[in-house]
Amino acid sequence: MKRKLIIVGLDGATFDVIDPLLQKGQLPCLARLIGEGTRATLMSTIPYSTIPAWPSFMTGKNPGRHGVFDFFTVEDGRRRLTSSRDIRSRTLWEILSQNGRRSVVMNVPGTYPPAPINGVLVTGMLTPRESPFTSPPEVADLLHQVTGGYRINCQSHLSGQRLVDDVLTVTEKHKKGFLTLLRRDEWDFAMLMFRATDVIQHHFWDRRDVVELCYREIDRCIEDIAHAFPEATIILVSDHGLQGQQWDFHVNKWLLDQGYMHIKRGRTAELSRWEQIADLEGRGALAQGRLHPSRVSRALLKLGITGHNVRKLIPGHWWTSLKKAVPQSMRDHLPAGKDLEYEVDWDRSLASAYQLYATESKAIQILGTDQETRRRVRGEIIEKLEQLCNPLTDAPIVRRAYRREELYEGPYAHHAPDIILDLHNGYNVTNAFFANDYCTLRDEIRGCHHREGIFVAFGEDVREGVTLDSPLSLMDAMPTALHYLGSAVPGDCDGRVVTTEIFKPDCEVCRREVRFERPQATELGLEEVSPYVDEDQAEIEERLRALGYL
């Protein structure tokens, strides 16, 4: 029997939102899939960030084996955007292609630039505007035609209801384009990733009505897909969950206070300082406004208006009052005194979380080349962080501070950040140097990532009405899909083939022995040339900034 498998990715989806909506009867499709299928908690990677989570999903491997740890790859102290060329392992759809099976893959992060597969690939969120985004190229014209102008991303400068409307418009385009491609040709495997759940929850976590509207719209989209292909097995996965962020942990301020990082002051740093404050304000309402803060900063600087000369004209008590008048999310990033210009003193610093990785990676890099000093500094920082408490509540902030070798193994593990943080619920990191303390309470709760995502399987072969007691791993999806479709599984996958937990014990999938193949040497020799020019990187960083990732 020829099987069809559809995986629907729901970026950032969480049972914490889904279950209350199920109880109220507001997600009829999900209620049917879960009631007649199998559900489980799906544990993401650490860090539980879009990148490296989706590359780990598509390869079935930890980042130490596929080589991608963050939205950015750090080379010689500078960062560049990660692309599909940085993934040093074959993906699910590449292996299926080699085995003669046809795939349709749409909107998965980490797939730009599009690589040829047996089927169709449409790239995801890190795709620059006006860049080729499909393989084969002519599919782009079809998508534009059937959707009235296909778009990968929502417009990150929008706010309020305009942003919600735009996100749902893009979601509808993705669903319509996906169904068109699946109806056009034969296929064995298909995947569509919806980003709406992630974007809406980041911006509107404290607006439960908006979040619930988003989930209802996604439920309707899943129903349309399931109805169109009733013979297909459907699996829903999220790369991570989401939660409310009540606290900002200013890790760079903490490093400064502890003497591990130093800054230097001078007029040459004026532009970068204001750009950094603009970057930080991607976490608050400023990033959702019509004027992006970094553009405002540049315009003011060109007119000679800088923080330094403005601050000189404002009496001290007025400055204090002014700080109190702005939102807490901005106030904590404003300097307290007249020394406004600064930049990192890299020569004197021993560690930094600044301008290397996205904030969702919660990563710290140890600086310097002396290995003994690096080991000592890393050990000290880890010990202090794991004992660090919130100054207002005395509750611990850091659940665990990991050495990279504790999380990753494989030929690329040495490229990982030196320290990766797993924070307690309700916390996220910022890049701020100046704040009232190293940990501050937010005025408004914003959505941030949580490690626990969702897994739902539904179909003729799937067990009915089952909730698994133990969580699955995001890396389990790829080898399980390969086995389900009759392909051999790479022997170096970190994920496992999940059979009897999900599928009916008497079905052919469970009776058939899992086949493994040796890892192919070609997996370690992919092209490393970046497909992004400077303008592309600036555009995509603006989108990431609006989500609070920078």
pLDDT at 452 over 60: yes
Any residues with CB less than 8 A from the CB of 31 and at least 6 apart, and which? Answer: 22, 25
* Rounded mean pLDDT, 33-55: 97
φ, ψ of residue 280 in degrees (nearest 5)? -60, -35
Distances (CA, A) of 356 to 101, 102, 302, 366, 431: 39, 38, 27, 11, 10
Residue 340 burial by CB count (10 A; 0-12/13-18/19+): exposed, middle or buried? buried
Span 506-527, average pLDDT: 78
pLDDT score, position 326: 52
Instruction: Tell me what pLDDT residue 1 has.
Output: 63
Mean pLDDT lowest for which of 120-124, 135-139, 359-363, 387-391?
A: 359-363
Please compute the mean of the pLDDT values over residues 411-436 and round it to a whole number.
Answer: 92
For domain 244-262+347-447, give the fold: Gyrase A; domain 2 (3.30.1360)
Scan for tokens 């990676």, then name that residue.
361
- CA 51 from centroid of its chain's CA atoms: 5
- Residue-wise pLDDT tens digits, 85-114: 999 999 999 999 999 999 999 999 999 999
Q: Which of 72-81, 326-335, 446-455, 474-483 has the lowest mean pLDDT?
A: 326-335
| Of the candidate ranges 279-283, 320-324, 366-370, 413-417, the one whose mean pLDDT is the lowest | 279-283
Who wins on pLDDT, 321 or 258?
258
Domain ranges of the chain: 5-240+451-518, 244-262+347-447, 266-344
Arithmetic mean of pLDDT over the chain: 86
**What's the CATH number for 5-240+451-518?**
3.40.720.10
- Exposed, middle or buried: residue 511 (CB in 10 Å: 0-12, 13-18, 19+)? exposed
Q: Which residue in 29, 3, 461, 457 sits closest to 232, CA to CA?
A: 3
3-state secondary structure of 168: helix
pLDDT of 432 reads: 83
In a 10 Å sphere around its CB, with 0-12 CB exposed, 13-18 middle and 19+ buried, how is residue 76 labelled?
exposed
Residue type at 160 in one-letter notation: G
Please report where in the chains the tokens 């799906």 appear, as a residue: 42
Q: How confident is the model at residue 80, as a pLDDT?
A: 86
Which pLDDT score, from 0 to 100, does residue 532 have? Answer: 76
Percent of the chain scoring above 70 in pLDDT: 82
Greater model confidence, 140 or 271:
140
R_g over Cα of the chain: 24
Which pLDDT does position 327 carry in this prediction?
A: 52
Predicted confidence at residue 322, as pLDDT, reads 55
pLDDT given at position 312: 47
Residue 437 CB partners (closer than 8 Å, separation 6+): 250, 253, 391
DSSP state of 191: E
What's the helix, strand, coil split of the chain in %, to 5?
A: 40, 20, 40
Q: Residue 358: what pLDDT?
A: 80
Query: Residue 406 has what pLDDT?
Result: 98
Kindly state the average pLDDT of the residues 350-357: 80
Q: What is the pLDDT of residue 353?
A: 86
Predicted local confidence at residue 302, as pLDDT: 44
Q: In 3-state terms, what secondary structure has residue 445?
A: strand
DSSP, residue by residue, 470-511: SPEEGGGHHHHHHHHTT--EETT-SS----TTTB-TTSHHHH
DSSP string of 349-380, one letter each residue: -SEE-SSSS-GGG-EEEE-SS-HHHHHHHHHH
Query: Has residue 281 got a pLDDT over 60?
Result: no
| pLDDT of res. 279 | 39
What is the pLDDT, as a whole number, of residue 178? 98
pLDDT of the residue at 122: 98
C-alpha span between 170 and 176 (Å, rounded): 10
Quick one: pLDDT at residue 317? 53
Q: What is the mean pLDDT of residues 484-507?
A: 97
Does the pLDDT at position 252 exceed 50? yes
- The predicted pLDDT at position 536 comes to 77
pLDDT of 2 reads 84
